[in-house]
Amino acid sequence: MLHTIFSTDNSWTGLILRLTLGIVLFPHGAQKMFGWFGGPGFSGEMHHLTQQAGLPGFVAVLVILIEFFAALMLIAGAGTRIAAVAVIGLFIGIIWQVHAGMGFFMNWFGTMPAGHEGYEYHLLIIGLAIALLFSGGGRFSTDNLFSVN
């Protein structure tokens, strides 16, 4: 079982996928966890997720932890498939709870009210995570140290 979870090859594809996804997710997770990049920080995000979004506290904590730690795991290539599954679940939940009713497209031209964005970005995140689920972390991943196909 562990071999299946951590196995990967030495491909550049896994490296490019996980760095792209990890680097894109990291600032969002850091906003929620520490308030970096103009974010609300842990307590502010907990307030938003529980009071405004109506999520249970446990789910709100998971949202913050997954977005922050999965990004770090992806960048390091440590538990790539575990991080990918967590990201897939998180972003399916985000689409389901928030963006499904707002249509496909992001608010590129500012024609929708603030905060109303479609789910196209979220689908890209899910697609990258699914690709990592199949490929593993690839070249220069910590996973690669444990098991190379």
Residue pair 80/143 in contact (Cβ under 8 Å)? The answer is yes
Task: Report pLDDT for 111.
Answer: 84
What residues in the chain have per-residue pLDDT under 50? 148
With tokens 């932890």, the residue in question is 65
Task: Report pLDDT for 108.
Answer: 83
Nearest to 81 by CA among 12, 15, 143: 143
Side chain identity at residue 70, one-letter code: A
Locate the DSSP E strands across 17-79: none
Beta-carbon neighbour count of residue 27 at 10 Å? 15
Task: Report pLDDT for 9.
Answer: 84
Q: Where are the domains of the chain?
A: 2-83+128-146
Task: Report pLDDT for 148.
Answer: 47
Judge if pTM exceeds 0.85.
yes
